[in-house]
Structure 1
């Protein structure tokens, strides 16, 4: 009986030793993102709320103290009253279609107060013979107009530009022209190498190899944030400046949002990494 067991163990050991198996190489996948540059778009409710708060604040703010800046009976007060007409007076015997005026210091507090400040004689003398449009453009008190939230890259739908979707997080995806599948940059360990590279260094080396060294970025952590059964480890990184410039003409790339990735990546691939991507 003992002889039978030894022969059985020997048989299985020999069989296992002679069987050849192919192991999956360890790889590092880089989740390279460009963080939002501007604030998020307001929802319709937020837009109405902030507009209401702004109008309420301007309506209830203290009335401009013209008596402090323009003394009664002076030419300055006369010039101020010529530019700023008093609000309509209130008479209880009159019906006001727009509502009863709420007068305080000759100001209707139902609306915000707009003030026109008269210029000094010196300023008027300097304006004589000059182009008024140019003076208005260079005036310090001119209205500040913010830049448009829609860039040229958005208008042209340039998926290779980092200037698109400034209020969203963009992710780098690549594709070989010989293939028909977009994916995150993935780099395998070299089988001929005598020592294995750390996963974050493997991702950095691979990124510079395919995208050039004009990329200034940093890794969120040296520790992978995710892995799958194919020995594929994911490293999160953020690009700070520079640009991705393909070092091989066969490589195509795009900067896309999470919503766009859902339509570009395969269903299984996206479901495996969707929880790693930002909704913002």
Structure 2
């Protein structure tokens, strides 16, 4: 009975392999994760601005008495730089609201402090052009880099420096008669049964052959995350560093977000893989 079952399975497997015309292939979902945080929504921007202004209004007043002793020359120089706010007078009308003074500070607004320079700093500034003197490293204002890169400005879809707050996916197009549509990198398994490769290795070798070896990336898993009726098995990967350099003049590539893929990929193809792509 056991021998009969084995023969039946063997015959069935042989028949399936002989009638199969579509080769197994590995499709690589190579992504570049977001580098910076997401843009704030209008509601989030207003909320954080409100909280920041509220915190600055209710925060403890700068304790000048601790740093500048009363009656000293340092305290005099501090008062020359920081004028006291206008006090409240019931006989005066204040169009912007009456002052709310506490410890000589109007708590309606954030407090800005100007600190007088030391004698050493003033001596070093004697004889110098004051307009060219930059603020020191401690007191200089920290200005963050722009969230919009040069690649965003010129619309360079081949650059990994675009859309820093979004996930980018690699898509390619082979300019041949049979293949002229954008798609994810896909690599067919060789038909020879003696040279079969695991799907993740097939994707790795295909990627290096397609875009060179200047790519540092890793597979999330050796197990495919999806497959379709065309016997395509999808492998998810993330690029860490490096660049994609096409090894053939017939190959075009782009780094595209999920929203952009919807307008570039064929509709049926996109609908089949959209659940695998990140909305971020």
TM-score, reference length from structure 2? 0.91
Residue correspondence of structure 1 range 37-186 to structure 2 within 5 A = 37-178=35-176, 179-186=179-186
1:235, distance to aligned residue in structure 2 (A): 0.2
1:193, distance to aligned residue in structure 2 (A): 5.2
1:95, distance to aligned residue in structure 2 (A): 1.8
Residue correspondence of structure 1 range 174-213 to structure 2 within 5 A = 174-178=172-176, 179-192=179-192, 194-213=194-213
- Once superposed, what is the RMSD of the aligned Cα atoms? 1.6
CA distance in 2, matches of 1:249, 1:193: 31
CA distance in 2, matches of 1:121, 1:138: 15
Q: Secondary structure of the residue that 1:255 maps to in structure 2? A: strand
1:169-224 deviation per Cα after TM superposition (whole angstroms, max 9, x unaligned): 00000001123300000001111351311110000000000010000000011110
Corresponding residue of 2:5:
none
Gaps of at least 5 residues in structure 2 are 1-10
1:209-258 deviation per Cα after TM superposition (whole angstroms, max 9, x unaligned): 00100000000111100000111100000000000000111110000000
Q: Secondary structure of the residue that 1:104 maps to in structure 2? A: coil
1:155, distance to aligned residue in structure 2 (A): 0.4
CA distance in 2, matches of 1:125, 1:67: 26
- Paired residues in the alignment total 264
The answer to whether residue 248 in structure 2 is matched with residue 255 in structure 1 is no
Residue correspondence of structure 1 range 191-270 to structure 2 within 5 A = 191-192=191-192, 194-270=194-270
CA distance in 2, matches of 1:169, 1:234: 17
1:106, distance to aligned residue in structure 2 (A): 0.7
Corresponding residue of 1:26:
24
- Determine which structure has more spread, i.e. the larger CA radius of gyration: 1
CA distance in 2, matches of 1:49, 1:110: 18
Q: Secondary structure of the residue that 1:194 maps to in structure 2? A: helix
Runs of 4+ in 1 over 4 A off after TM superposition: none
| More moved, 28-37 vs 178-187 | 178-187
1:121, distance to aligned residue in structure 2 (A): 1.1
1:114-154 deviation per Cα after TM superposition (whole angstroms, max 9, x unaligned): 00000011110011122434432544211000000000000
CA distance in 1, matches of 2:201, 2:218: 11
Gaps of at least 5 residues in structure 1 are 1-12
TM-score, reference length from structure 1? 0.91
CA distance in 1, matches of 2:70, 2:136: 32
CA distance in 2, matches of 1:230, 1:201: 20
